[in-house]
Structure 1
């Protein structure tokens, strides 16, 4: 088999409504998928699986988890029935052990919307094995970056690595009624600063997240930014796949690391 190297991705997955109302990012995800070789497997670190230590899903067919409330009934009917891959999950656990990264197997965790929602637009057939790994919130930004580096070689096996979060994520500042509000400067400046540093390959500044400008306004909690650190570990060459804002200040960027 002639395997091709896939990139690592950071995907801003936005509101659960993205599944029903794709806005600009749904078509961008679709275009991205058709321009990549079809993955043999997909590994996703999601903002919505926080844990003490790193965990790896070993479920053979995880349930689709609608881990949100107050949305239209049709959203709760969506299923993403992609299988897991126990052999690959075991390889991940072995790889982490060899890198002195403590990781636990988890065979019961359902698949949260940070995983299935973007994949719904990229690979709607759900015919590619998907393994979710957790976001270890006790770890530093450098620790999460090292998790990405530990898995980076798997890209050469035509395995797609994804960090799923949001480049900005302050739900209290969103306009849920008016979708196309002007983007506030604190959101656009934060996003532009991150992009500038990534373009300069100044990963160190981004990993020093506590000193990022407008951090608390854009990320009152860190879980939606942290998957970016994972994606940064998967490759060195940064490029922007898509950039937009939804509901005023919700950044919907997609970044690629080769």
Structure 2
């Protein structure tokens, strides 16, 4: 019987994060040693939002360099992860039972929101990976997606939501100066996740005036909602890392379940 896996929310930072010695980079490199090796990984990235819900079905994945203007070394990286078409079919059936329309996708590769953290956590690329898209809708749709994926944890499947705890690219700065508003939002998020206030986190604009500044668009926040719902939204999560990249890009990470 495979070990039951947690659900994780990972902040993946800027694409060049994988090339740095950032403290969050070290956290991810150590993470794979701390949790039981999963049978398969389901990853939900901020960089794939689609309706119907997309599910990758390839037997092996290419990676997508969905960015520009970064060092050439970044475009030389590869992460030759295997897929799991049989499990992808099971996921499709489960999501359809939960009321989602789904689209199986044999051609799409892994975007940087998927392969950047996976390259750090599991660098040998031996664990099969399935990427599932975020729904195009409210955060409640993301919660519904997480709930539908939750049973796969019992089968030894690790569920990862990959986004950013603070993600406002207009406020990046190379000096590494973190503004007070970003620190305050991170504190609000930690207090509500660890305080078991899912009701507030799924309705952030009602409970903090900082949300729109921290997340001008919601797609980097939505993977946290997926992960918490997949882990068990009636129980608190645990923050296991917090830092910032390029000043105001939040790199917090949480474990659920």
TM-score calculated relative to the size of structure 1: 0.95
Deviation at 1:53, TM superposition (A): 2.4
Q: Distance in 2 between matches of 1:188 and 1:82?
A: 35
Q: Is the 8 A contact 2:45 2:113 kept in 1?
A: yes
Q: Distance in 2 between matches of 1:217 and 1:17?
A: 23
Q: Which residue of 2 aligns with 1:125?
A: 124
Please state if 1:196 is matched with 2:191.
yes
Q: Is the 8 A contact 1:190 1:213 kept in 2?
A: no
Q: Which residue of 1 aligns with 2:220?
A: 224
Deviation at 1:22, TM superposition (A): 3.7
Q: Distance in 2 between matches of 1:155 and 1:231?
A: 11
Look up the SS of the partner of 2:131 in the other structure: strand
Q: What whole-Å deviation, never above 9, does each CA across 1:7-43 have from its counterpart, x for those lacking one?
A: 1000000011111104011111122210111111000
TM-score calculated relative to the size of structure 2: 0.95
Structure 1 stretches lacking a partner, 5+ long? none
Structure 2 stretches lacking a partner, 5+ long? none
Q: Is the 8 A contact 2:32 2:121 kept in 1?
A: yes
Q: Which residue of 2 aligns with 1:162?
A: 160
Q: Is the 8 A contact 2:195 2:236 kept in 1?
A: no
Q: Which residue of 2 aligns with 1:45?
A: 44
Q: Is the 8 A contact 2:55 2:131 kept in 1?
A: yes
* 1:105-120 correspondence to structure 2 within 5 Å: 105-120=104-119
Alignment length (residue pairs): 253
Please state if 1:16 is matched with 2:15.
yes
Structure 1 residue runs of 4 or more that deviate by more than 2 Å after TM superposition: 209-213
Q: Distance in 2 between matches of 1:40 and 1:232?
A: 20
User: Aligned match of 2:143 in 142, 145, 151?
Assistant: 145
Alignment RMSD, CA only?
A: 1.2
Q: Distance in 2 between matches of 1:22 and 1:68?
A: 20
Q: Distance in 2 between matches of 1:21 and 1:213?
A: 32
